[in-house]
Amino acid sequence: MATVVDRKHPFKTSLSSKFLWLGLFAYLAYAFSTLDIGWNRFVLGLDQGARLVDRLFPPNFARWELLLSDLIESLQIAIIASVLGIVISLFVGLMAARNLMPNAISIPVRVFIALCRTFHPVIIAILFVKAVGFGAMAGILTLTVASIGFVAKLFAEAIEEISFKQVEAIRATGAGFISTIVFAVIPQVFSRFIGFSIYQLDSNLRNSTMIGIVGAGGLGGTLFSAFQRFDYDFVTAILMAIIALILVGEALSNLVRRIFQ
Amino acid sequence: MKADTLKTPMSNSELTPKWERFTLGERTARYMVYLVIIMSFLASLRTVEIIPEFLLDAPEQMADLFSRMWPMDFASYPTTIHGAMLDTLHIATLGTLLSLILAIPLALMNARNIVKSPWLNWIAKFFLVASRSVNSLVWALLFVAVFGPGVLAGVLAVALRSVGFVGKLFSEALEEVNMGSVEAIRATGASFTSVLIKAYWPQAKPAFFSILLFRWDINVRESAVLGLVGAGGIGVVLNNAMNLFQWPKVAMVLTTIFIVVLLIEYIVVQVRKRLM
């Protein structure tokens, strides 16, 4: 029996995937209709936007002392949180690796890492602000938790991908557990660990300028209050400071990455 | 002496230099990095403003917080939280969609194997970097100032933050395509759009959907907090509940966010498995 070949559509999309697309479009249309996004509002907003841009410039650096002290606080939060988070991740990541640890250890540690990752830093910051009060300490704890969630997860995954031959070779010499980790596991994953750490330092720097919105120290608090007081020219100055900080951070992390390559 | 008898004019160790993993320069550079990190860490630790009394108080405060949160306010879920959570999901989805509309032209313009002009590449790169450098909360603050509090500000904030991310990764995927098939299609005399659709798109398609899913996942998490600055969604409910010290309701909101984020992650993993 000769099968009919549809020459026009050699790779026909299946019926189920068509329905999936249809469902997706229906959902998008529904989502759009439920949200109160009128064209009028958009046009009205554009007018308002022009006025806002007008008030954003020129940036006002009159309160540069406040700006500088906040900037330094953001930097301090980012550095302390990154160092703490990365050092803790080193151990947590090792404990979460399923090829080195029994399930009794790795499963609870993995749940802990997942918990650290699930919440946005701002939500974690809210809890820590309640626990340790306003200020830099809450920021440090928040970003430490965020760092553990990211670095420990990726580090554990990197460890799970290592070649086990070296581990066996080192074990065969009669080395203990610590020696096996230090001489067989760490050398295989160290460069990737450095990579994750640099990335996290960069992202902590960005987030440290943000968590101040809920009172956890750094530039964010000043930014938020400047917005609420319609102090828009100061807002521009703060934003420029943040962007400068991020650019410097990016340049430094590129330098470190090149050194460790 | 014994050492004299052993000494030969050309010992083996002199011929082959001692093996070293890194050169002296590399090692010095590394130690400098460690040194700088430790010094900046110590300097930060000494100067940062921490009130020790607050820190000692922390466990008590935490216990107090959780005791106030329990039992959770389940009754508030159907009345306020459910609708706000749906709004958050809509914000994330529509924001991702809108970011796509902006990101695709920029990604094409940024890909050096599609647009040959370095000037256009740089312009695209500038927009992508600018979008990524500004946190979505700052975008939200700006859009709340422009369009007023509400969902529209949230959608635009999510979209503008995502443009840089999606655009950068998509243009990297485009730059990695195999140019052989591009040249083959070009040799048939195909127009620019045909080359894009028939040569670039099929190769970049898996990467495109995986980037999109990844960003959607991130956007759901981010849009949950945008409401704290007034950009709609569950964050508004969270903010109001916190300002009124309704801790049982706060606990309910946090639990809802937790469950939704886990669900979204599960869905993304499943869809990605099908796509790959």
**Most A-contacting residue of B26, B37, B44, B46 (CB-CB within 10 A), to test interface:** B44
Confidence band of B271 (pLDDT split at 50, 70, 90): confident
Please state the domain count of chain A: 1
CATH of the domain at A109: 1.10.3720.10
Of B116, B102, B126, B123, nearest to B192 by C-alpha is B116
Query: Does A48 score more than 80 pLDDT?
Result: no
Q: What is the pLDDT of residues B228-242, one digit of tens each?
A: 888 888 888 888 888
> What's the pLDDT at B163?
92
CA atoms within 13 A on the CB side of A226: 25
The whole-angstrom separation of Cα A173 and Cα B78 is 63
Asked if residue A139 belongs to a domain, the reply is yes
Per the CB < 8 Å rule, is B229 touching A213? yes
Quote the minimal CA–CA distance from A142 to chain B in Å. 14
Q: What is the pLDDT of residues B184-222, one digit of tens each?
A: 888 888 888 888 888 888 888 888 888 888 899 889 888
Confidence band of A10 (pLDDT split at 50, 70, 90): low
Per the CB < 8 Å rule, is A120 touching B222? yes
Q: What is the pLDDT of residues A122-139, one digit of tens each?
A: 888 888 887 887 888 888
Query: Does A7 score more than 80 pLDDT?
Result: no
Residue in B47, B65, B90 nearest the CB of A76: B47
> What's the pLDDT at B159?
92
Residues of B in contact with A122 (CB under 8 A): 137, 225, 228
- The number of helix segments (H) and strand segments (E) in chain B equals 14, 0
Question: What residues of chain A, 146 to 205, have a C-beta less than 8 Å from chain B?
Answer: none
Asked if residue A57 belongs to a domain, the reply is no
Per the CB < 8 Å rule, is B33 touching A259? yes
Encode A91-117: b = buried (16+ Cβ within 10 Å), e = exposed. ebbbbbbeebbeeeebeebbebbeebb
Per the CB < 8 Å rule, is B150 touching A210? no
Q: What is the CATH number of domain B72-275?
A: 1.10.3720.10
What one-letter code names the amino acid at A253?
S
Query: Does B2 score more than 50 pLDDT?
Result: no
Q: What is the pLDDT of residues B5-38, one digit of tens each?
A: 455 555 555 566 677 777 777 788 888 888 888 8
> What's the pLDDT at B18?
73
Query: Does A77 score more than 80 pLDDT?
Result: yes
Asked if residue A52 belongs to a domain, the reply is no
Domain extent, residue A73, equals: 64-259
Quote the minimal CA–CA distance from A260 to chain B in Å. 7
> What's the pLDDT at A5?
56
Average pLDDT for B67-84: 80
Q: Is A87 on the interface with B (CB under 8 A)?
A: no
What one-letter code names the amino acid at A73?
E
Query: Does A6 score more than 80 pLDDT?
Result: no
Per the CB < 8 Å rule, is B137 touching A83? no
The whole-angstrom separation of Cα A232 and Cα A217 is 21
ipTM over 0.95: no
Confidence band of B1 (pLDDT split at 50, 70, 90): very low
Query: Does B3 score more than 50 pLDDT?
Result: no
Asked if residue A119 belongs to a domain, the reply is yes
Q: Where are the alpha helices (DSSP H) in chain A?
A: 15-34, 39-56, 64-96, 103-118, 121-132, 136-147, 153-160, 164-172, 177-180, 186-208, 219-228, 232-259
Highest mean pLDDT among A83-87, A199-203, B57-61: A83-87
Average pLDDT for A223-229: 84
Quote the minimal CA–CA distance from A2 to chain B in Å. 30
Query: Does A23 score more than 80 pLDDT?
Result: yes
Asked if residue A186 belongs to a domain, the reply is yes
**Most B-contacting residue of A122, A128, A242 (CB-CB within 10 A), to test interface:** A122
